[in-house]
Structure 1
Amino acid sequence: MPDLLLRRARLVPLTTAAPDGPVDVLVRDGIVTAIGPSPTASEGRRTGASKVVEEYDAGGRWLLPGLWDQHTHLGQWTLAASRLDLHGTRSPEDVLAVVGAAVAAAPGIPIVANGHSAGSWSRPVTVTELDAVTGATPVVLINHDFHHGWLNSAALAVLGLPWRDGVVRENEWYAAYPHLDRLGGGGPSAGAVAFGSASPGASPAAYRAMLERTAALGVVGLVDFEFRATYDAWAARWSQGCDLLRIRAATYADGLDGLLSARLRTGDPVPEVESGLLTVGPLKIISDGSLGTRTAWCCEPYADSGSHGAPNQSPDELRALLATATAHGLEVATHAIGDRAVAEALAAYAATGARGSIEHAQLVRRADVREMARLGLRASVQPAHLLDDRDVTERVWPGRSDRCFALRWMADDGVPLALGSDAPVAPLDPWLAISAAVHRSADERDPWHPEQALTVREALAASVDGAGTVRVGSRGDLVVLDRDPLGMPVTELRTLGSAVALTVVAGWVVHRA
């Protein structure tokens, strides 16, 4: 591992004060070991066959810890580039037109698409109407929240699912999703994707390309919540060139026995990877559904459906999972979007002594935010979702929008915040998340409940995995920016992805503009 000497960098004061002017920063063995006007030659240089010093002149640019995305589905994000894209469709009729044209262009080649937002539509959809434009070609349309799929009859048959004239949702959908490779399929140019190890979309080369694009945004680490993914799958991928960033690989309940038999705990390096950059993540539990699918579990009913949503486990099942994880040294990341789901999850953490996070925490009550703080749990929130969910929230959760994405409550009550994207539900772009957390608007409208906004400094601090202002002893995970993130209009934060000059992981330069 080479030493890295960053010259003339301005430290961004995220959590503590920083020097007024540029400083030199030395990274040795993956750790910041010296900061000052100019580290001495004896401090800064160790030459020889096994050690070299790489220098980078920041030229007065701004230095802060590397960014993290604390909630991703990296397999789906990688595959998204090779699937038919339905983002931008506004109605079932829009989707049917796009899908019908794709089938006509390549008859018989299965199609998997994602990106449509059924939660914003005025009516439910049917298998019958999808069959009318797709015929015998298997078609799977994944809703943008990934909590349900709109399948035609041919796809239902291939996946062995009972016919119904509506969508496949929640637990039934999660069980069916890993078997999409049964569809076969053609290449991306046909709007289709072949699944499995031979798939272009899921290949190590595609993962590597995705990681390079991510590094170019200043990201140094990702928490991967991919369905049915395992840490050992990441280890195999690592040896095929996917070793660019830090990865924490989560495990779902169906993979828990394998993890326990390997006697691995959250935070342990994966044994097959010597660098220590690939580590065991938390146990992931999906305790309720989503707003868009109307399955997030709420204290009050949805205005359009009259339902309250529903849990995906009983309270006893949830407690049993948390207790097992805790007894074996695993943190728990519990997906809870509705306020009833958040309350039940907190009760399970309190009863079992489990540690970890509430993922999403989209609709919360103030008392539950305080309980989250009391329990020492992180709130892992994806602020870009508020941009997509703003209008549907006002329609189906009337009178509750002031409790949605309640980041200010969380910050004021002392809940540790960890921002992410939920990619591919939102783009894997930390600057979009930061901008949404601060500005809370993506268009010409006024910010949505600005009383719940974070400051720029708070949003940045929630995006660096707790690193704080760069100091001696910091991890050598760094990003150099062409612009000062604390000295620009909040409406321009979204553009900072193009201002990344350098990204460093454990002292290694992984991106240079």
Structure 2
Amino acid sequence: MLDLLLRDVRALTMRADHPRAHTVGVVGGVIVGVDDDVRDLPARAVVDGGGATLTPGFTDAHNHMVWYGLSLAELDLSTCRSLDEVYDAVAARAAELPSDAWVVGSGYDDYVLGRHPQRAALERAGGGRPVWLKHRSAHMCVASDAVLDKAGVLDGSARVPDGGVVERDADGEPTGLLAEQAQQLVDALVKPYPVEELAAAVTRAAEVYVREGLTHVTEAGIAGGWIGHSPAEAAAYQLARQQGELPLRVELMPATEVLHPFDAAVGVETGLDLGLRSGFGDDFLRIGPMKIFTDGALSSRTAAVTEPFLGAGGLGVLGDDPDVLRERMLAAHRSGWRIAAHAIGDRAIDLTLDTLEQAQKELPRPDVRHRIEHSAMVRPEHLSRMAALDVVPVPQARFLYEIGDTMHSALGADRIPWLYRQRSFLDAGLRVPGSSDRPCVGTGAPLAGMRSMVERTTKAGLVLAESERVDATEALHAYTTHAAYACRQEDRRGRIGPGMQADLVLLGDDPTTVDSAEIDGIDVLATFVAGRAVHGADTLTWTTGGPAS
């Protein structure tokens, strides 16, 4: 007796031995067979797919779920096209709040606005309330006088963390802009968030994710540094799951700041309490790699590069002293962790590859699958080094559309071929998972990410490194088989076949055959996690059983 039978579907199985299927059977949240193996078996619930396309569930290999969930309750500035619109939005929100309440907004884009919002104008718009606006890249923010005063920026008493930048004008006065680690000056005023508030944020984000076909996401940094929200951030995910409000699978990356040394006699050099490390947990909630920032971002020109940015120049910033970064990664490797190193600029990628090579020489760990998050500016000579180390590059193709024009102006034509590679990675034998970095930059919908992998166009219509395009089938592999590989779970998800988790997406059309411009417009009809419809159940055609079956 099957728990679920999906029939009359056009399944893209992502398997070489059985690439297409029309019937899928599920028992206990696991696929037990396809087509003839299950077609005539009885089932408690039967869904007639009506010829719709079925694919493995999508994975976002790098997102910020809590942060995105929090942003859904914040002032959305992503549609603002002028500074006046930003100030008007702040003033309108401030008018709804008590005199001492914070006005928090996110998603503004200085490239669109012409410059960053200014502290004096924010002070006026907020009516003296603390105003804190987060840049769409998440690597910068602007704050009003009320916030800067509390943070000790105005009187100079604040200690700016290593790798942080407090922008000042020609007279040496703060402009209100804080970049990279300097954002911790504001974070310290509002964090830690209560676990219940973070759990609610997880729930809000999850509701959006399953509507987009996501069945698994990797949370890229929790509990420490400027990226974390609470030392107990993992507990928020546990609480959401306990309450039945975590309908998809999640892998958590602890920030490097929350790993700490152990007594040598323990046999673990660095880790979380109880000696926990990568792999602890189950198929719904588990600990993944250690997350470390080696540099900043391209949009803020804080990525660590070997040649200056155009215009304003500069070589960006490293996330900390190089020796500190190197030792943190080496200690993590020696202690059994997988490493997820945020490295965008080519200088940061040099440092990361040098360190990973040293780590493997000192203590070889076959098939460890360390990751380089973003891998944005990969020089040609990096490719062979990455392949030799079997690292997993985690680029965000959608960035090319959302901020590609900004990148072009910052880097110039000579370095554009290095940006967010896809084809070169595959040709080098690397697996490239799909990811969004949501809520940074723009939409995190997987289908939109696939379109950008295929087209590589900017908002202005430029094509960035056409030779790095991939076809739609390869883009679908990025969000399924390659993403599962990046999490060391290719043995149980990312494909449709016996023994695989019944995480599935029913689509209104086939993303591998439609025109590329139509990929992101395909309807997600239903999303299944462990054989349960977590989205679209009420719209499916149930010939036996129903949504609760």
- 1:38 is displaced (CA, Å) by 5.6
Partner residue of 1:224? 219
Q: Distance in 2 between matches of 1:213 and 1:125?
A: 29
| CA 1:438–1:95: 2 relative to 1, 3 Å | same
Of 142, 145, 158, which aligns to 1:150? 142
The answer on whether the counterparts of 2:144 and 2:176 sit within 8 Å (CA) in structure 1 is no
Q: Distance in 2 between matches of 1:504 and 1:469?
A: 14
| CA 1:2–1:254: 2 relative to 1, 3 Å | farther
Partner residue of 1:137? 129
Partner residue of 2:383? 369
Partner residue of 1:246? 249
Task: Find out whether 1:337 has 2:328 as its counterpart.
Answer: no
Of 272, 292, 312, which aligns to 1:260? 272
Q: Give a deviation string over 1:206-226, Cα, whole Å, max 9, x none.
A: 532431221121110011124
The answer on whether the counterparts of 2:280 and 2:286 sit within 8 Å (CA) in structure 1 is yes
- 1:445 is displaced (CA, Å) by 2.4
Of 532, 537, 544, which aligns to 1:508? 532
Of 412, 415, 435, which aligns to 2:430? 415
| CA 1:7–1:13: 2 relative to 1, 3 Å | closer
Q: Distance in 2 between matches of 1:292 and 1:340?
A: 16
Q: Distance in 1 between matches of 2:375 and 2:111?
A: 18
Q: Distance in 2 between matches of 1:330 and 1:175?
A: 29
Q: TM-score, normalised by structure 1?
A: 0.87
Partner residue of 1:173? 183
Q: List aligned pairs for 1:197-346, cutoff 5 A.
A: 197=195, 199=197, 202-204=198-200, 206-225=201-220, 226=222, 227-228=227-228, 230-257=233-260, 259-269=271-281, 276-346=283-353
Q: Distance in 2 between matches of 1:119 and 1:317?
A: 33
Task: Find out whether 1:378 has 2:392 as its counterpart.
Answer: yes
- 1:404 is displaced (CA, Å) by 1.1
Q: Distance in 2 between matches of 1:197 and 1:355?
A: 31
- 1:137 is displaced (CA, Å) by 0.9
Alignment root-mean-square deviation, CA? 2.6
Of 324-333 and 467-476, the range deviating more from structure 2: 467-476
Partner residue of 1:448? 464
Which segments of 5 or more consecutive residues in structure 2 lack a partner in the other structure? 156-173, 261-269, 361-367, 485-492, 540-549
Q: Distance in 2 between matches of 1:451 and 1:115?
A: 31
- 1:107 is displaced (CA, Å) by 6.4
- 1:334 is displaced (CA, Å) by 0.8
Q: Distance in 2 between matches of 1:361 and 1:394?
A: 17
| CA 1:174–1:361: 2 relative to 1, 3 Å | farther
Of 46, 65, 68, which aligns to 1:74? 65
Task: Find out whether 1:491 has 2:517 as its counterpart.
Answer: yes
Partner residue of 2:109? 117
Percent identity between the two aligned chains:
27
Q: TM-score, normalised by structure 2?
A: 0.81
Q: Give a deviation string over 1:156-188, Cα, whole Å, max 9, x none.
A: 233454553341221121453253259xxxxxx
Q: Secondary structure at the match of 2:186?
A: helix
Partner residue of 2:479? 463
Partner residue of 1:84? 75
Letter in 2 for 1:413: A
The answer on whether the counterparts of 1:2 and 1:507 sit within 8 Å (CA) in structure 2 is no
The answer on whether the counterparts of 1:32 and 1:472 sit within 8 Å (CA) in structure 2 is yes
Letter in 2 for 1:351: Q
- 1:76 is displaced (CA, Å) by 1.4
Q: List aligned pairs for 1:38-117, cutoff 5 A.
A: 39=38, 44-45=41-42, 53-104=44-95, 106=97, 108=99, 109-117=101-109
Partner residue of 2:421? 406
Q: Distance in 2 between matches of 1:337 and 1:237?
A: 32
Partner residue of 2:166? none
| CA 1:302–1:172: 2 relative to 1, 3 Å | same
The answer on whether the counterparts of 1:349 and 1:355 sit within 8 Å (CA) in structure 2 is no
- 1:100 is displaced (CA, Å) by 3.5
Q: Distance in 1 between matches of 2:374 and 2:123?
A: 34
Runs of 4+ more than 6 Å apart: none
- 1:453 is displaced (CA, Å) by 1.2
Partner residue of 2:33? 34
Q: Distance in 2 between matches of 1:39 and 1:158?
A: 65
Letter in 2 for 1:232: A
Q: Secondary structure at the match of 1:167?
A: strand
Of 419-428 and 24-33, the range deviating more from structure 2: 24-33
| CA 1:328–1:53: 2 relative to 1, 3 Å | farther
Q: Secondary structure at the match of 2:272?
A: helix
| CA 1:394–1:65: 2 relative to 1, 3 Å | same
- 1:333 is displaced (CA, Å) by 0.9
Letter in 2 for 1:177: D
| CA 1:473–1:142: 2 relative to 1, 3 Å | same
Letter in 2 for 1:485: P
Q: List aligned pairs for 1:424-439, cutoff 5 A.
A: 424-425=439-440, 426-439=442-455
- 1:6 is displaced (CA, Å) by 1.5
- 1:482 is displaced (CA, Å) by 2.3
Q: Give a deviation string over 1:117-151, Cα, whole Å, max 9, x none.
A: 12556556542343343342110011111112101
Of 462-471 and 62-71, the range deviating more from structure 2: 462-471
Q: Distance in 1 between matches of 2:136 and 2:19?
A: 44
- 1:56 is displaced (CA, Å) by 1.6
Q: Secondary structure at the match of 1:11?
A: strand
Letter in 2 for 1:268: F
Q: Secondary structure at the match of 1:459?
A: helix
Partner residue of 1:189? none
Letter in 1 for 2:530: A
Q: Distance in 2 between matches of 1:413 and 1:120?
A: 36
How many corresponding residue pairs?
482
Q: Give a deviation string over 1:52-81, Cα, whole Å, max 9, x none.
A: 732222232222110001111111111112
- 1:456 is displaced (CA, Å) by 0.5
